[in-house]
């Protein structure tokens, strides 16, 4: 850890809280709420992994349906919110977490920071592509390969980031075995999602547990001071 340990811990915890608040705000967006039942549960995540016309019709409804304009508007509102607020927030949290746990000089820490930066790029490629697709679903179908590939890369890099932080917690000093185990969870979640593509909701649950544990340890460290052994 470099710099002021308690300040780094506090910054990590606060940014983590901000990221969680932003994530919770997605469903409160006026356009999303106005869509009502037209916005299917998990629509944003389903759209990220959509690969065919049938996926688009399941998410947005058939062409000419009453639901399609509402579902498209809700999706665009969520993705614009993602671009401006959530992606920068969770990336800042991930980068601060690296500095809080290990500084940026260790090879594992540098690799974790690189994974977080790569996930940022992949997420922007994915989300900007999705915003382009919704302008014209028929024409945008050809871009689904780009958005879905970027989504898999994003989740893979976020899993790698958590795995490297887990190694730091389990092998470095001070050791944080409980946090280390929590940070392992995104990896099996992504593997499960790969083996069962229909279970896209699995992966985010792994990150929720891992990031909540990381945030809690950061705030605890800020309150009590860092351990040295």
pLDDT confidence of residue 200: 72
Q: Is the pLDDT reported for residue 2 higher than 70?
A: no
CA separation (Å) from 130 to 16, 79, 115, 214?
A: 26, 8, 22, 30
d(CA 187, CA 5): 28
pLDDT confidence of residue 172: 82
Choice among 149-158, 188-197, 216-225 with the minimum mean pLDDT: 188-197
d(CA 210, CA 204): 10
Cβ distance 190 to 156 under 8 Å? yes
Choice among 92-101, 124-133, 149-158, 184-193 with the minimum mean pLDDT: 184-193
* Greater model confidence, 224 or 135: 135
d(CA 109, CA 102): 6
pLDDT confidence of residue 228: 56
Cβ distance 35 to 65 under 8 Å? no
Span 143-165, average pLDDT: 96
Closest CA to 218 of 34, 15, 3: 15
pLDDT confidence of residue 198: 67
* Greater model confidence, 40 or 82: 82
Residue 143: pLDDT band by 50, 70, 90 thresholds?
very high
Q: Is the pLDDT reported for residue 131 higher than 90?
A: yes
CA separation (Å) from 164 to 168, 174, 187, 188?
A: 6, 15, 11, 14
Mean pLDDT for the chain?
92
Closest CA to 185 of 148, 150, 158: 158
pLDDT digits (tens, 9 = 90+) for 163-210: 999 999 999 888 999 999 999 999 998 888 888 866 677 778 889 999
pLDDT digits (tens, 9 = 90+) for 66-105: 999 999 999 999 999 999 999 999 999 999 999 999 887 7
Q: Is the pLDDT reported for residue 3 higher than 60?
A: no
d(CA 221, CA 218): 5
pLDDT confidence of residue 118: 98
Residue 4: pLDDT band by 50, 70, 90 thresholds?
confident
pLDDT confidence of residue 127: 98
pLDDT confidence of residue 201: 72
Span 120-147, average pLDDT: 97
């Amino acid at each position: 850890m470099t710099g002021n340990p308690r300040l780094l811990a506090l910054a990590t915890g606060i940014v983590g809280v901000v990221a969680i608040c932003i994530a919770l705000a997605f469903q409160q967006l006026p356009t999303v709420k106005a869509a009502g039942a037209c916005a299917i549960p998990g629509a944003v995540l389903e759209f990220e992994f959509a690969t065919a016309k049938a996926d688009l019709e399941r998410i947005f409804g058939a062409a000419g349906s009453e639901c399609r304009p509402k579902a498209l508007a809700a999706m665009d509102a969520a993705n614009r919110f993602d671009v401006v607020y959530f992606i920068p927030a969770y990336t800042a949290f991930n980068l601060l977490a690296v500095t809080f746990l290990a500084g940026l000089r260790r090879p594992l820490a540098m690799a974790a920071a690189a994974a977080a930066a790569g996930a940022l790029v992949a997420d922007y490629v994915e989300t900007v592509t999705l915003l382009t697709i919704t302008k014209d679903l028929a024409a945008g179908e050809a871009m689904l390969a780009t958005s879905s590939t970027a989504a898999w890369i994003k989740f893979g890099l976020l899993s790698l980031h958590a795995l490297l932080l887990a190694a730091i917690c389990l092998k470095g000093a001070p050791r944080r075995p409980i946090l280390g185990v929590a940070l392992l969870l995104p990896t099996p979640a992504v593997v499960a999602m790969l083996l069962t593509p229909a279970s896209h909701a699995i992966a985010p649950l792994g990150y929720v547990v891992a990031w909540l544990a990381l945030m809690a340890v950061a705030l605890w460290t800020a309150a009590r001071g860092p351990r040295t052994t």
